[in-house]
Amino acid sequence: MADLDRNAPVRTVTSHGAISVDERLTLRSLAAVLGEAEAGIALVRRADDSVGVVSERDVTRALGLGADPDWVWVADVMSEDLVIAEVDEPIGDVAQRMIEENVRHVAVIDRGAIVGVASMRDVLLAALD
């Protein structure tokens, strides 16, 4: 990562093939999917073809509030406020937006289609390099 800088496009730190789950998945099943993929976030497919996002933080918060992981669905804890970045957007700009929006992941899009996810760790490492 040493050859990246804050002006490099975010595509350079984007993990391609983002995890996508159905909104009717239980929290227990979601935790298994995230754990197996060693991921902290999943995109959520809605019945109306919209996309949301659910993170390990959302699962932890729900469980802390007493949610039953076998009866609560992803749709119950997901966010519909998807923070996005264009593939050619500079890493420094994306890092700044992530801080302002208080998110640890952004969906990266190319011509309107989600192509992957960039994490706070990867974005900040490159931006601070």
- Give domain status of residue 5, yes or no: no
Task: Name the domain count of the chain.
Answer: 1
Determine the structural domain holding residue 34 and report its residue range.
10-128
Q: How confident is the model at residue 93 (pLDDT cuts 50, 70, 90)?
A: very high
Alpha helical stretches, state H, 38-118: 56-64, 74-77, 91-101
**What CA–CA distances, in Å, run from 33 to 49, 90, 96, 119?**
21, 30, 29, 18
Distance between CA atoms of residues 93 and 97, nearest Å:
6
The structure's pTM equals: 0.81
DSSP one-letter code for 39? -
Of 18 and 105, the one with more pLDDT: 105
- Give domain status of residue 117, yes or no: yes
Domain harbouring 20, CATH code: 3.10.580.10
